[in-house]
Amino acid sequence: MRGKLCYNGCMFHTADPQDILSGKITDVYFDRTVRILKEQGINPVVKAEFIAKNLPGEWQWAVFAGLEEAMYLIKHLPVKVRAMKEGTVFYPFEPVMEVEGRYQDFCVYETAMLGLICQASGVATKAARFKKLAGERAVISFGARRMHPILAPMIERNAYIGGCDGVAVVKSGEIIGEDPMGTMPHALILCMGSTVSAIKAYDEVLEPKLKRVALIDTFLDEKFEVLNVAEVMGERLYAVRFDTPSSRRGDFYRILEECRWELNLRGYKDIKFYVSGGIKEDDIPSLNPLVDGYGIGTSISNAPVVDYAMDIMEIEGKPFAKRGKWSGSKRVLRCGACEKSHIVPYNEAHQQCECGGVFEDILIAVLDNGKYLIDIPTHKEIRAFVLRQVERYPIHSDRA
């Protein structure tokens, strides 16, 4: 029996960008609020801030991401925005963004503004944590396939700015301006019939600039398969990738160690080791001595979101906020020398840190009635900014 077409024709169940820009991606209570306020003739000038009171898991800091998209969303509105630079490492309770304007003008955008920064910041933070744990080893985003494809470029862009060295999806590579990275799927090996014939065909067909990396867990034990591909490829083989199924994994470290031994014994010391398949933060420190690169999937693409909330904290120039929120507009000051952070009332002057360093105002004016007050950095520049900061922040690894 044939299935019926869905009532409005088959389609992707996602918003059109125009729906987001027109305010249709809003919780209906905001729509109703605007109707009521209009009817009542109430439309105060308010300031609203975006803060996260808590961070997921063991996170003590997070990376603020999603600003470029948030600015794109509200640049057509008569509002002023102050924000941290995209990629800023921040602590709970620090406002990352502040919007000032007549409430009716931006009320319906709260849902979309939060959605843009909550998920982007979660992905960027998770990537930053993996990269910090992996150090100079490559971390590649492999998890687009676990998420709705319409989100793949957004997810991988934020994985990249957070610190990933590369992304897997073609469209994501176009957006960030880097060549996408990848090795070979098991499907190629199954179609070709053996790992050796697959890597030989890979070498024959693909352009020389692409590194020759053989996936070696498809048919045989890793130890014998690495030797098979090393012998047939010699110095042309850049790396092998271990995606060993969890049912066969036993002690993954020992498998890698044994393969390294066998390769080294035969003079293949330069062949690098990539690993993938359900790698968690906790696995990284123990695998680092044997690994040159990680393919990280679901842990990054399905990163926990940063739970920012948007709250009004000033109405018509007067501090005014709900229970549980600090009223009034604020500055966030960060010591350039010791990273100490201070949240102070907006009118308070700059202070010198007790360490002797100078506090920098990290919540800066970025948008004024459609006019950009900052240059939008490239994705590569944001990534470098994140990596510079993250170096100085401690990490306690998560199980995820």
Nearer CB in complex with Zn ion: 64/359: 359
CA dihedral 294, 300, 302, 307 (to 10 degrees): 160
Least Å from the CB of residue 306 to Zn ion: 25
Number of residues counted as binding Zn ion (CB under 5 A): 7
| 40: its two tokens | 């009542």
Task: Give 397-400 contacts, CB < 8 A, sequence gap 24+.
Answer: 397/58, 397/129, 397/133, 397/281, 397/282, 397/284, 397/285, 398/57, 398/58, 398/59, 398/129, 398/280, 398/281, 398/282, 399/280, 399/281, 399/282, 400/57, 400/280, 400/281, 400/299, 400/304
Least Å from the CB of residue 351 to Zn ion: 10
Residue type at 26?
A: T
Give the footprint of Zn ion on residues 320-339 (CB under 5 A).
335, 337-338
Pairing state of beta strands 166-167 and 97-102?
Answer: unpaired
Least Å from the CB of residue 88 to Zn ion: 17
Least Å from the CB of residue 341 to Zn ion: 10
Give the footprint of Zn ion on residues 97-156 (CB under 5 A).
none
Nearer CB in complex with Zn ion: 80/340: 340
Selection from 176, 167, 126 nearest residue 386 by Cα: 126
**CA–CA distance, 293 with 347 (Å, rounded to integer):** 48
Least Å from the CB of residue 392 to Zn ion: 12
Nearer CB in complex with Zn ion: 210/358: 358
Least Å from the CB of residue 342 to Zn ion: 10
**CA–CA distance, 189 with 200 (Å, rounded to integer):** 11
Q: Which of 91, 357, 364, 395 binds Zn ion (CB under 5 A)?
A: 357
| Segments of the chain assigned E as strands | 45-51, 62-63, 80-83, 89-90, 97-102, 138-141, 166-167, 213-215, 239-242, 272-276, 293-296, 309-315, 318-319, 330-335, 341-345, 359-361, 364-368, 371-372
Nearer CB in complex with Zn ion: 160/359: 359
Binding status of residue 362 toward Zn ion by CB under 5 A:
no
Give the footprint of Zn ion on residues 337-356 (CB under 5 A).
337-338, 340, 353, 355
Three-class secondary structure of residue 46 per DSSP: strand
Give the footprint of Zn ion on residues 63-82 (CB under 5 A).
none
Least Å from the CB of residue 340 to Zn ion: 5
Nearer CB in complex with Zn ion: 85/340: 340
Nearer CB in complex with Zn ion: 3/356: 356
Residue carrying structure tokens 């549980």: 324
Least Å from the CB of residue 359 to Zn ion: 8
Selection from 117, 106, 110, 112 nearest residue 15 by Cα: 112
Three-class secondary structure of residue 130 per DSSP: helix
Nearer CB in complex with Zn ion: 36/355: 355
Give the footprint of Zn ion on residues 215-254 (CB under 5 A).
none
Nearer CB in complex with Zn ion: 44/357: 357
Residues in contact with Zn ion by CB under 5 A are 335, 337-338, 340, 353, 355, 357
